[in-house]
């Protein structure tokens, strides 16, 4: 099983600034990593798949990078609607696994 370790657990950022969330895989996930956003009381939403590709309707301020075991989600120019919990996930092989989540909160 590939263990996905996210950091930090909580990130305090001011609106308009940049947020960077990291995810480390215990073994190579190649480029098969996705990122999700979840707001309170809502189902998660796919943001990024294939490490770098934005899902339909996701604004360009969301970007992903990495390969193998190190991955990053960057949110530029944070908007009020971006304050949420973010999860990374690998789908390179079964079982699929998620990171523990990062809460991006208003500073």
Burial label for 71, CB within 10 Å (0-12, 13-18, 19+), is: buried
Give whichever of 13 and 91 is closer to other proteins, judged by the CB atom.
91
How near is the Cβ of 47 to other proteins at its closest, in Å?
10
Question: How many C-beta atoms surround the C-beta of residue 45 within 10 A?
Answer: 14
Give whichever of 13 and 46 is closer to other proteins, judged by the CB atom.
46
Give whichever of 69 and 89 is closer to other proteins, judged by the CB atom.
89
How near is the Cβ of 14 to other proteins at its closest, in Å?
25
Give whichever of 60 and 95 is closer to other proteins, judged by the CB atom.
95
Can you give the binding site for other proteins, defined by CB under 8 A?
Answer: 1, 32, 34, 36, 38, 43-46, 49-50, 55, 87, 89, 91, 94-101
Structure tokens at 25: 């895989």
CB contact at 8 A, 22 and 31: no
How near is the Cβ of 58 to other proteins at its closest, in Å?
12
CB contact at 8 A, 56 and 71: no
- CA–CA distance, 54 with 73 (Å, rounded to integer): 11
How near is the Cβ of 16 to other proteins at its closest, in Å?
28
């Amino acid at each position: 099983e590939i263990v996905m370790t996210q950091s930090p657990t909580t990130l305090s950022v001011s609106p308009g600034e940049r947020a960077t969330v990291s995810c480390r895989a215990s073994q190579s996930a190649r480029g098969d990593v996705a990122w999700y956003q979840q707001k309170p009381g809502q189902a998660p939403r796919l943001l990024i798949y294939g490490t770098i590709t934005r899902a339909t309707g996701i604004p360009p301020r969301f970007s992903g990078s990495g390969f193998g075991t190190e991955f990053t989600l960057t949110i530029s120019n944070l908007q009020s609607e971006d304050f949420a919990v973010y999860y990374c996930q690998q789908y390179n092989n079964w079982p699929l696994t998620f990171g523990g989540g990062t809460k991006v909160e208003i500073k």
